[in-house]
Amino acid sequence: MLKTNVSAFALLLGSIFLVAVYANELSRCCAGGARHFQQTHTCSNIKSEGSKATCLRSASICCLRALLDSACEEGTDLARQDETCPSSINSLGGGLRKECCECCLLANELLAKNQPCIPPTGFSAACLRAFSRCCQGTFEFTQTIPISTVSENNAVYLGDRCAHSKCEHFCNDRGGESVECTCRPGYDLGPDGQSCV
């Protein structure tokens, strides 16, 4: 019985080790894909860090993520500099570029009207990042909401619950039961809903 338990434990440890090694390899492949976009500004002819098809797929996914993150940053910058958004969405990343630009312009309009900078539900993570960046002027700060402010429609804003959140990058307080965490470009929200990976 003891011999069987030791064998099962050794097999389990070996499996955990292989999973960790494989996950580390895929992370390396992913980083290679993001690096490929940063160097070439395309996601074609990606050179894989490894030889497996899964490595190439991981690199391709992360290259596309870097492309879309870059498009969103461009859209946000356009809104902040030119106060206008591109009308064409037919270029690569153009749809997300326009979405992030419009989200930033919405934040600017709310601020100009002295209204709380609170995004409605339904915005994508990229749009929320652009909105938050334009509300605060930076990627680092959390969205703040005035404490006990009553608007014309008698809606009460509960205060800045983001100050006490465990969000690693961004926190959005929409006034619901909980806050929503989002991440900087190039990162995804972890399974705990707070960390960015």
Domain spans of the chain, in order of start: 20-39+48-182
- pLDDT tens per residue, range 39-68: 999 999 887 766 678 889 999 999 999 999
Q: Which letter does DSSP use for residue 114 in this model?
A: T
Mean pLDDT of the chain: 76
Q: How far apart are CA 62 and CA 45, in angstroms?
A: 14
- Lowest-confidence pick of 53-67, 88-102, 152-166: 152-166
DSSP lists the bridge partners of residue 171 as: 181
CA distances from 175 to 74, 127, 148, 155 (A): 29, 18, 12, 10
Q: How many CB atoms sit inside 10 A of residue 111's CB?
A: 15
Entry field: residues in the chain: 197
pTM as predicted: 0.58
Contact indicator for 29, 53 with CB cutoff of 8 Å: no
